[in-house]
Copies of this chain bind each other. A is one copy, B any other.
Amino acid sequence: VLNNNPTEKVAVALGRHRKTGEDAVVILNRHGFEEDAIADELNLSGIKEIFHNSRFSRHQGTSPCKLTIEVICPAMGKDILKYSPQEWYVLRETPAIYQAITKPMVDAIPEADIQWVYNILDGKKEQDQVHLKTEEFLCLVDYKWQDKSDPKGLHLLSLVRERKTLRSIRDLEGGKHLKMLKTMKASILLEINKRYHIPASQVLCYFHYYPTFWHAHVHFTHISGPSFGSTHAVGKAILLDDVIDNLTMDPKYYQKASITLRLSAVKHSKALEEAVKLNALSLHA
């Protein structure tokens, strides 16, 4: 077996020709679902429930064509939205747009929304996942990395200790944070090297902007890891090395720069609406 991709259900084997004995690359590919036949698939006999918790259940088809079926019932609007195709938009956030749209939105986030971060910083939760603690930041395993036997799943998070004033990359300033960012990069790469035997040359270190939660943090993931959707994409990821170089060039760089954002029509509808009002983008051709 040369390769086996469980996400795409493709396997590649190295075989040998039955008569000539020549090497052969053999690519096995499961078929996707035909739109018209989806209802029929659900009439499979021998479906077995293997998990059930509240609205969520999981079933396994025992017919020759193995199938897992997940059911959310009763489904709420947000469940339906979550599984519908997302519409994305690109917004070039100038400093003026940041002040008009993003900052008021971030300032209005209730503190309770990042209480879970404070619980980690205060030593109340997830302490078994913490790898490093300094006066300025704390590094722990992201909950997405479940299977530690797979180094390509590497995902650590570094949370800064400074609270409230350091919500995102926009709040970074050379004079205040440059030294911390350099220390963070060096010490976490060393820790990854020691603990997981992954060389620094295979680790990608980056911020997200917009971040998923508004308390400044840096991601450390494997360069060959599964990319969780747009997690490594431009318009979302900003390399820690670029941040360090930009702050070195100009300590106020992130107060002056324009930054490209990927915004979801569902998750960021308010920001998109405001941007349309400011003539910063048009949703239509």
Contact = CB atoms under 8 A, between A and B. Distances in A.
A114 to B, nearest CB: 25
Nearest to A272: B201
Contact of A198 (B10, B33, B68, B285): B285
B31 A74 contact: no
Interface stretch (A141-149, A161-169, A255-263): A255-263
Contacts of A80: 2, 14, 23, 25
Interface string A8-20: 1111111101001
Interface residues of A, number: 93
Contacts of A233: 227, 232-234, 237
Contact of A71 (B26, B90, B241): B26
A122 interface: no
A90 B202 contact: yes
Given A29-B68, A234-B234, A17 B202 contact: no
Contacts of A41: 11, 28
Contact of A91 (B39, B91, B201, B203): B201
Contact of A8 (B8, B22, B72, B198): B8
B12 A32 contact: no
Contact of A224 (B25, B73, B87, B258): B87
Interface string A60-95: 000111111111111100011001111111111000
Which applies to chain A's interface (DSSP): helix, strand, loop or mixed?
A: mixed
A5 B284 CA distance: 25
A197 interface: yes
Q: How many copies does the complex hold?
A: 2
A1 interface: yes
Contact of A199 (B68, B241, B282): B282
A74 B32 contact: no
A49 interface: no
A7 interface: yes
Contacts of A199: 281-285
Interface of A: 1-15, 17, 20, 22-33, 35, 38-39, 41-42, 63-75, 79-80, 83-92, 193, 196-204, 206, 223-224, 227, 230, 232-235, 237-239, 241-242, 245, 257-258, 260, 262, 281-285
Given A3-B83, A3-B85, A13-B39, 7 more contacts: A4-B35, A6-B32, A29-B69, A204-B234, A227-B233, A232-B233, A233-B234
